[in-house]
């Protein structure tokens, strides 16, 4: 909470964003304390990692000083106080924290907890609910992520200016050669991060993990590579059209599992259609669907980062804040 | 008895901090950070509802009888990743606004709009 309060007072957007990274990490630890390990995993990678980086890249393009606003803060404060007071008044009707008799634990949750082992055969209930019981919802989420990625591409690809970009690249590259320790350390770390992402991806049935977490971690490794070795090297290593193709392939993989089960005479995304043995069918279905999710999430995050840092940037600011990126 | 609801109060306070940033600050990036705080408070709200006293993470294992509710975990897990994708979209829009107006301060943008 202190972090969030500090965000209100800070005028320098750079420190605001650093604080929001800390805030993300703290809320991840909240989630661990409340037994939501899968969620904590995702929040640590997203809140403290990728969102901080994206905001940093964005402020390199927009400037990082906030002007003094001439709004009256008292009106806003009054609105906030009234709303907060009403919300707190509302909480008195809520079930108390940690109560096992709360209505939320009475509906579908017992079925997931008691029957999912027989029906799905996957110890991690979060994975079985995510990919099997509520597979259709997850499909929707993946499509939303895909659409957001396309949106970012559409908004930012118009900003390209080829001459300036090459100029920035030269500048970037000279700067990147100076960070020798950083380069060597990240060169050693990146394979392990990628390996860890794959572990999270394929071990998601048994421990915390799954496509969403793996996708974000994988993307974080690639983004680290882009930051340390510069855009032009990264462009040579990572084929842009290929990544765009991958993003679409992930969604397609997910959708085609659903359509396959439709054609086999079952419901959309009913994995029992995939194999004669229902448990094996569920396992295969979850594996394929999580793979689709992982591929889409990872490639969309990389695409978003590429289109942000590839667009037009005033050279001076770029250098300064990339240095900050590295330091973080 | 009263302290049984402290998790909701933390959520409300965080939410109101986020809300205050969104309505009281003119800088678009700062507004996005405010929205992120607001969003995270909703995440904490859901996860705190899933918590069961004496329960553990919802991964089935021998000898454990009490688990937390897995359903809110699933909802929030996907919501976080969708949240970052939409935040990225918001940032992209901000960058485009900077291109078009030369500023990301709400007042300056409105002034320019009024002039035209």
Q: What is the pLDDT of residues A36-72, one digit of tens each?
A: 888 888 888 888 888 888 888 888 777 777 776 656 6
Chain A residues whose CB is inside 8 A of the B56 CB are 35
Considering only CA atoms, give the Rg of chain A: 23
Average per-residue pLDDT for chain A: 79
A115 in a structural domain = no
A119 in a structural domain = no
Q: What is the pLDDT of residues A207-241, one digit of tens each?
A: 787 888 888 889 888 888 887 877 777 778 888 88
- pLDDT for res A328: 39
Please give the domain boundaries of chain B with CATH numbers for all domains.
2-52+70-115 (1.10.287.3510)
Chain B residues whose CB is inside 8 A of the A7 CB are 17, 21, 33-34, 37
Q: Is the pLDDT of residue A173 over 60?
A: no
Q: Are A43 and B44 in contact (CB under 8 A)?
A: no
- What's CA A317's distance to the chain center, in Å? 26
A131 in a structural domain = yes
Domain that holds residue A196: 2-95+124-327
Q: Are A242 and A298 in contact (CB under 8 A)?
A: no
Instruction: Count structural domains, chain A.
Output: 1
Over residues B76-103, mean pLDDT:
87
- Angle of helix A162-176 relative to helix A315-327, nearest 10 degrees, comes to 40
Q: Is A58's Cβ below 8 Å from some Cβ in B?
A: yes
Of A318, A324, A14, whose CA–CA distance to A172 is shortest? Answer: A318
Largest pairwise CA distance in chain A? 68
Q: What is the pLDDT of residues A265-278, one digit of tens each?
A: 778 877 877 777 87
Over residues A310-316, mean pLDDT:
50
Structure ipTM over 0.90, yes or no: no
Q: Test B82 with A126 for CB contact under 8 angstroms.
A: no
Q: Is A198's Cβ below 8 Å from some Cβ in B?
A: no
- What's CA A5's distance to the chain center, in Å? 24
Sign of the torsion formed by the C-alpha atoms of A150, B41, A51 and B26: positive
pTM recorded for the entire structure: 0.83
Q: What is the pLDDT of residues B15-37, one digit of tens each?
A: 888 888 888 888 888 888 889 98
Percent of chain B, pLDDT > 90? 6
């Amino acid at each position: 909470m202190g972090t969030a309060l500090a965000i209100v007072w800070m005028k320098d957007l750079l420190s605001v964003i650093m604080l929001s990274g800390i805030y993300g990490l703290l809320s991840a630890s909240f989630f661990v304390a409340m037994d939501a390990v899968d969620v904590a995993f995702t929040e640590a990678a997203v809140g403290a990692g990728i969102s901080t980086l994206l905001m940093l890249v964005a402020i390199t393009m927009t400037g990082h000083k906030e002007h003094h606003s001439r709004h009256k803060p008292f009106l806003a404060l009054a609105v906030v106080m009234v709303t907060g007071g009403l919300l707190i008044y509302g909480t008195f009707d809520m079930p108390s924290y940690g109560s096992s008799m709360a209505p939320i634990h009475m509906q579908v949750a017992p079925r997931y907890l008691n029957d999912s082992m027989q029906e799905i055969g996957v110890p991690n209930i979060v994975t079985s609910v995510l990919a099997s019981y509520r597979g259709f919802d997850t499909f929707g989420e993946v499509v939303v992520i895909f659409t957001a990625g396309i949106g970012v591409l559409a908004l930012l690809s118009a900003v390209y200016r080829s001459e300036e970009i090459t100029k920035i690249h030269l500048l970037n590259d000279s700067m990147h050669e100076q960070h020798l320790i950083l380069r060597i350390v990240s060169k050693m770390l990146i394979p392990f991060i990628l390996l860890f992402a794959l572990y999270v991806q394929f071990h998601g049935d048994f421990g915390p993990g799954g496509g969403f977490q793996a996708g974000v971690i994988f993307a974080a490794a690639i983004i680290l590579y882009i930051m340390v070795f510069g855009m032009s090297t990264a462009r040579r290593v990572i084929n842009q059209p290929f990544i765009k193709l991958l993003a679409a392939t992930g969604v397609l993989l997910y959708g085609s599992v659903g359509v396959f089960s439709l054609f086999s005479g079952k419901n959309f995304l009913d994995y029992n259609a995939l194999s004669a043995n229902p448990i094996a069918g569920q396992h295969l279905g979850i594996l394929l669907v999580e793979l689709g999710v992982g591929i889409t999430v990872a490639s969309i995050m990389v695409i978003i980062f590429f289109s942000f840092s590839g667009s037009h940037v005033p050279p001076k600011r770029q250098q300064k804040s990339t240095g900050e990126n590295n330091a973080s | 008895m009263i302290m049984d609801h402290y998790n909701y109060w933390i959520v409300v306070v965080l939410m109101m901090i986020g809300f205050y940033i969104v309505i009281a600050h003119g800088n678009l990036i700062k507004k996005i950070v405010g929205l992120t705080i607001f969003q995270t408070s909703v995440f904490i709200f859901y996860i705190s509802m899933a918590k069961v006293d004496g329960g553990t993470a919802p991964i089935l294992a021998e000898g454990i009888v009490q688990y937390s509710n897995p359903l809110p975990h699933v909802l929030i897990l996907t919501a976080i990743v969708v949240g970052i994708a939409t935040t990225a979209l918001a940032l992209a829009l901000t960058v485009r606004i900077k291109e078009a107006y030369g500023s990301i301060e709400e007042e300056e943008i409105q002034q320019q709009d009024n002039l035209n």
